[in-house]
Structure 1
Amino acid sequence: MIVCGHRGIASLAPENTLAGLREAHRLGFTWVEIDVQLTRDEQVVVAHDEKVNRCTNGKGWLRQFDWQELSRLDAGSWFSPAFADERIPLLRDYLALATRLGMHVNIEFKLYPGDDAERLCRRVSEIMAPGPFAPEKLLFSSFEPDCLRHLQKLQPNVARALLVEKIPDDWQTQLHRLSCRALHCHYRHLTQAQAQAVSAAGYQLNCYTVNQQCQADKLASWGVNMIFTDKPLTTSGRR
């Protein structure tokens, strides 16, 4: 089973930063998960929250900042003085570093009320077009089916995953319609029977956010393909 660093490796470095990516790589992770959003001037940045308050020294809605304003915020001191002056990265820079490190990246398309799914998908696709980002080292995921539909057209060579909290009854219909390769769900709501059904249907099953070793081992025994974690778990078979 693959162990993927959640937002880099969120227990050891400020989330969604280049520092987090470097730390995950240092620990031997080959996969990290990040979130992307658009700034006011339509730059794609790596950030999770709708507001910048929690993870920077700024305040306000992220979408109301342009890139130059956002790039001046300190995104590390809230976590530890050791990370002072760490910045919110552009997706382009994050992927460039991941490529140099040989890392795989799961990009979650983070959409809040009022956000434009098509615009975000188009901007990410434009970033990838000239870059050396190998499609086989990327995975796109979203809670929004509309987002996955746009990505199906814009970047058909990059695998897609539908994000859910609880696996719905029509999960197989949705995955087939969206041509997804994987299903992501919260591990607390997963049953062994569901895990076996997803695997039997030929889909990958990935679970978030698993921070207990015993839970990771149980999910591995159920056939789960990948877990997202904030901690450097020692699950047998990590790759």
Structure 2
Amino acid sequence: MQMKMVKKSMKITAHRGVSSLAPENTLAAFEQAALLGLDWIEIDVQLSQDKVPVVIHDRTVNRCTNGRGRVADMSVQALKALDAGLWFGDAYEGESIPTLAETLLLAQKHDLTVNVELKHYEGDDIDLLCQQVKLVMTELGIAKEQVLFSSFSTQALTVMQRIMPTIRRGQLWQQIPDNALAILDELDAYSVHCDFHFLDERTARWIKSAGYQLYCYTPNHPLLVESFWEWGVDMMISDVPQDYQSQSTASKPQEFVDA
């Protein structure tokens, strides 16, 4: 009964949108999250050449569009002209790289909470990225509860702590380091985001006992992390959130299914 109670409350984030059903980091993938009734999406943000925050993961457009080149070397107009959907399937031909503003407007429309990962590649101006993200959020009037900043760059999170202190911050690590609590305390962090492959029960309970939210990326097979909920993990960031929904429904006792 205890395991079923844990599963009932499990929370899922759609990684780059529902990237198993639609091209990653596109409005189509974020719409899929809304259609599934999810509460959270995770996105990646970096700057175009003309300093517009755009939603794309890689340093280049090569993998997920019909173009070639570095994101930072292309204007937002050039980026928007690329096809970011056809690589995934014919049904998504013409899907474009969204701006952060477009994505946040969609999130507002569907009441989605957005985990904004601040991407940092060598040579990037972290302060400028953070300032431009703040500008977009301020212009749109995004509620502080609707956004969580995350990054592998502690520097980026430190900047956000200074310029948008009321927005939650989550430190990304592949493997949680021994000095994690000192870093998290300095950041006044809200959450820890780690690669599920490197998480063990002792570390999970250590982070949770210190009072932080604990999120895992990117477990795409729910059964592999079934025990993680018992360790105190709060959220799974997955490409296949629909599989967690199916598992949760299948494992609920009848009174939960009917509720």
Q: With structure 2 as the length reference, what TM-score do the two structures score?
A: 0.90
Q: Distance in 1 between matches of 2:94 and 2:227?
A: 39
| Larger RCO: 1 or 2 (CA < 8 Å, sep 6+) | 1
Residue 40 of structure 2 aligns with an amino acid whose one-letter code is: W
Query: Post-superposition shift, 1:131?
Result: 1.3
State the match for 2:214 in structure 1. 205
Q: Give the counterpart of 1:61 among 52, 62, 70.
A: 70
Query: Post-superposition shift, 1:132?
Result: 2.9
State the match for 1:41 in structure 2. 50
The question of 1:4 aligning with 2:23 is answered no
Larger relative helix fraction: 2
Q: Distance in 1 between matches of 2:225 and 2:36?
A: 18
Q: Give the counterpart of 2:191 among 182, 185, 192.
A: 182
Closer/same/farther in 2, CA of residues 236 and 221 from structure 1, 3 Å limit: farther
Residue 212 of structure 2 aligns with an amino acid whose one-letter code is: Y
Residue 66 of structure 1 aligns with an amino acid whose one-letter code is: S
State the match for 1:79 in structure 2. 88
Number of equivalent positions: 237
Q: Give the counterpart of 2:158 among 146, 149, 156.
A: 149
The question of 1:23 aligning with 2:32 is answered yes
State the match for 2:99 in structure 1. 90
Residue 248 of structure 2 aligns with an amino acid whose one-letter code is: S
Q: Give the counterpart of 1:226 among 229, 235, 242.
A: 235
User: Which digits, 9 at most, give the CA deviation of each residue in 1:95-131, with x for residues without a partner?
Assistant: 0011010101100001111111101000000111121
Query: Post-superposition shift, 1:215?
Result: 2.2
Q: With structure 1 as the length reference, what TM-score do the two structures score?
A: 0.97
The question of 1:123 aligning with 2:135 is answered no
The question of 1:160 aligning with 2:169 is answered yes
Q: Give the counterpart of 2:248 among 233, 236, 239.
A: 236
Q: Distance in 2 between matches of 1:104 and 1:220?
A: 21
Identity rate, percent: 42
Q: Give the counterpart of 1:196 among 202, 205, 230.
A: 205
Deviating runs (4+, > 6 A) in structure 1?
none
